[in-house]
């Protein structure tokens, strides 16, 4: 039984057909690599899963529910998280607030005033999550704009993991990182898999894809042209699918 099921997704921007009938299934605890050339439709496909883009046609099923017409907030509440390439962090807000952005826990202040953001709880849970990921951040009270790329990447991951997601989509999580930081991201993906979280990893770095993923899906010109088991393929074959040279 699959966790995520995409059926015949179509999406156009004006005259440009970006997705032309995408079918894909992802099971719980499965790590799949989504690869393809620039303009193949990877980012668009991911945004139709998170709900940022409504689809023109087709269906998105998640956890035995049709989520096609739900907005990003509703899908996030059901366990679909995405870590964007640009990280989607609010640079002037502090680390803890970024982790809880859009889902701030509230309480009643002095038992009376409603909707009081529970900053103490945000801080303590954010600290716990940072500790659990085993990363060093000088302070959770710093604005994220003052942190390094690797540290910001970690905060984006921490935000995705804080609310027990079932599916995490990562868009180029290793592209801007130093070698040591790349390994820690790959370790985190393995940790997620072992906890039963499904991961879709979008990456141009095939080395990372082969290390982290069990299955590799190639997108070309808006449709899935190959769905490969890592053990039965190799890098040359994947590259030939990506560039459209596979016979």
Partner 1 sequence: MKLASLLARAHVRAESLAVLIALSAVMAIISPVFLSFGNLFNIILATATYGILAIGATFVISAAGIDLSLGSVLGLASVTGAFLVVNLGLPWPFAIVGCLAAGLAAGAVNGLIIVRGRVPAFIVTLGMLGIARGLALIISSGRGIYGLPEEILFLGQARPFGVPTPVYVLIVVALVAHYILAHTPFGAHTLALGDNEAAARATGIDVRRQRLMLYSLSGLMAGLAGLIFTARVNTGDPTAGLNYELLAITAAIIGGTNLFGGRGSILGTMIGALIMGVLQNGLNLMAVQAYYQQMAIGIVLIAAVWLDQIRSRGRI
The site string for partner 1 over 72-111 (x = CB under 8 A, - otherwise) reads: xxx-xx----x-x-xxxxxxxx---x---xxxx-x--x--
| 38-57 positions binding partner 1, by CB under 8 A | 50, 52
* Rounded CA separation 46/29 (Å): 18
- Judged by CB under 8 A, the number of residues near partner 1 is 34
The answer to the question of residue 113 lying near partner 1 (CB under 8 A) is yes
The answer to the question of residue 115 lying near partner 1 (CB under 8 A) is yes
Find the shortest distance in angstroms from Cβ 183 to partner 1. Answer: 26
Nearer to partner 1 by Cβ, of 114 and 247: the residue is 114
Nearer to partner 1 by Cβ, of 128 and 141: the residue is 141
* Rounded CA separation 51/6 (Å): 13
* Rounded CA separation 158/185 (Å): 11
Find the shortest distance in angstroms from Cβ 7 to partner 1. Answer: 24
The per-residue DSSP string of 12-61 comes to EETTEEEEEEEEEEE-TT-EEEEE--TTSSHHHHHHHHHTSS--SEEEEE
Find the shortest distance in angstroms from Cβ 97 to partner 1. Answer: 7
Reduce the secondary structure of 178-227 to three states and give it as a string: CHHHHHHHHHHHHHHHHCCCEEEEECCCHHHHHHHCCEEEEEECCEEEEE
60 strand-pairing partners: 6
Find the shortest distance in angstroms from Cβ 199 to partner 1. Answer: 18
Binding site for partner 1 (CB under 8 A): 50, 52, 71-74, 76-77, 82, 84, 86-93, 97, 101-104, 106, 109, 113, 115-117, 119, 143, 145-146, 159
């Amino acid at each position: 039984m699959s966790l995520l099921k995409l059926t015949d997704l179509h999406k156009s921007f004006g005259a440009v057909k970006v997705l032309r009938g995408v079918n894909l299934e992802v099971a719980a605890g499965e790590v799949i690599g989504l690869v393809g050339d620039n303009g193949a439709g990877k980012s668009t496909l991911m945004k139709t899963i998170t709900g940022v883009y409504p689809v023109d046609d087709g269906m998105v099923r998640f956890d035995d529910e049709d989520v096609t017409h739900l907005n990003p907030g509703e899908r996030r509440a059901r366990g679909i998280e995405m870590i964007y390439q640009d990280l989607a962090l609010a640079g002037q807000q502090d680390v803890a607030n970024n982790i809880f952005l859009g889902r701030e826990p509230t309480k009643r202040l002095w038992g009376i005033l409603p909707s009081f953001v529970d900053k103490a709880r945000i801080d303590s849970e954010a600290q716990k999550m940072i500790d659990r990921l085993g990363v060093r951040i000088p302070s959770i009270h710093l604005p994220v704009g003052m942190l390094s790329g690797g540290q910001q990447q970690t905060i984006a991951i921490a935000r995705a993991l804080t609310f027990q997601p079932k599916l995490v989509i990562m868009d180029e999580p290793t592209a801007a990182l130093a070698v040591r930081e790349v390994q820690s991201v790959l370790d985190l993906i393995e940790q997620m898999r072992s906890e039963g979280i499904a991961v879709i990893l979008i990456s141009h770095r095939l080395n990372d894809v082969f290390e982290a993923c069990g299955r590799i899906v190639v997108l070309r010109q808006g449709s899935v042209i190959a769905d490969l088991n890592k053990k039965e393929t190799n890098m040359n074959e994947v590259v030939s699918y990506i560039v459209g040279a596979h016979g």
